[in-house]
Amino acid sequence: MADQNKRLDSNVSGNFYVDATCINCDTCRQLAPASFEEVGDFSAVTSQPTSEGSLHQAYQALLSCPVGSIGTERGEPVRMQEAMASFPLHLEEGVYYCGFNSEKSFGANSFFLEHPDGNWLIDSPRYLKHLVEAFERKGGLSHIFLTHKDDVAEAEKYAAHFGAKRIIHRADLEAAPGAEWIIEDVDSSQILPEFQIIPVPGHTAGSMALLYKNRFLFTGDHLWWDSKQQMLRAPSQQVWRKRVLLDSLQKLLDYRFEWVLAGHGDGIRLSAAAMQSQLQALIERRQPARMPS
């Protein structure tokens, strides 16, 4: 629950505000970019939402903030309920953004995937009655894909409730030692029709991407979209091995996909050809500088 006494001076005056407990995870800026911006080390409300659309997004951000740093001076219960009901948020073709990002994964995004042979969760949101019931209405969960050790959050609770199999790479197993399906491979594997696991070590030793339907690439913290710069990005800090990360980026050139859906950072949909160009440009930017001969 946000505290008006901790309201940051960087907020514009008005109903919505961010308080000093913000961990600068970016969730609000992704969900409601018209209202929230990064100011210094925190997010702030730089434009009060006034239209129906921007108000809805601001309440979605309030609900998804992992540490409850977003508050309002006066509550609007109906708008809050409408925002709550919008989660999980449908993106396309049975792929949803869960919302309710968890502090345990530093506010990482998680996704729900509706499939006739069993639904999937990709990384974990907070364990919340609203989401549990929403997943139940859609037929529960059969698999929980864990992109890497940092974004496991409350996967164990979802696995226990739904009898779902957690999938994690052996090299990141410390984060989910009881996982039901451990990936040992370094090569990609088609584990089920339409589901391909692509190990992408670099950020962590056990980072993996999940390619679904040759359209959706769930990347964890390996790759994301920077909407300000309009380009793909990969981590340059908190990297297990930089050379390995570059090899893992290169590996993705072998695949066709249109969506990048990341744990941290924006998601994006481009044409498959534009995505390839973006990826190629990222790899070129990340090549080590050559020594003058």
Minimum Å distance from CB 163 to ligand SF4? 31
| 210 vs 61: CA distance, rounded Å | 26
Q: Which is nearer to ligand SF4, 20 or 231 (CB)?
A: 20
Burial of 104-125, coded b for 16+ CB within 10 Å and e otherwise, reads bbbbbbbbbbbbeebbbbbbbb
Q: Cβ of residue 36: shortest distance to ligand SF4, in angstroms?
A: 6
Cβ of residue 70: shortest distance to ligand SF4, in angstroms? 5
Q: 28 vs 175, which CB is nearer to ligand SF4? A: 28
Give which of 138, 144, 182, 147 is closest to 163, Cα–Cα: 144
Residues in Cβ contact with 97 at an 8 Å cutoff, skipping those fewer than 6 apart: 87, 88, 89, 91, 109, 110, 111, 112, 261, 267
Amino acid, single-letter form, for residue 138: K
Answer for the pair 34, 17: CB distance below 8 angstroms, yes or no.
no
CA 25 remoteness from chain centre: 11
Could you give phi then psi for residue 81, rounded to 5 degrees?
A: -65, -40
Q: If you count DSSP H runs as helices and E runs as strands, how many of each does the chain have, helices first? A: 7, 19
Minimal distance in Å, beta carbon 78 to ligand SF4?
22
Backbone angles phi, psi at 250, to 5 degrees: -60, -40
Nearer to ligand SF4, 25 or 279 (CB): 25
| Of residues 28 and 210, the one with the C-beta less far from ligand SF4 | 28
Taken in order 155, 121, 124, 52, the sign of the CA dihedral is: negative
Min CB(108)–ligand SF4 separation in Å: 11
- Minimum distance between the CB of residue 267 and ligand SF4, rounded to whole angstroms? 16
Contact residues toward ligand SF4 (CB under 6 A) are 18, 22-28, 43, 65-67, 69-70, 107
Q: How far apart are CA 135 and CA 88, in angstroms?
A: 9
Whichever of 60 and 219 has its CB closer to ligand SF4, that residue is: 60
**Closer CB to ligand SF4, 43 or 147, in the complex:** 43
Which residue, 28 or 144, is less far from ligand SF4 as judged by CB? Answer: 28
d(CA 157, CA 233): 31
Least separation in angstroms between CB 196 and ligand SF4: 31
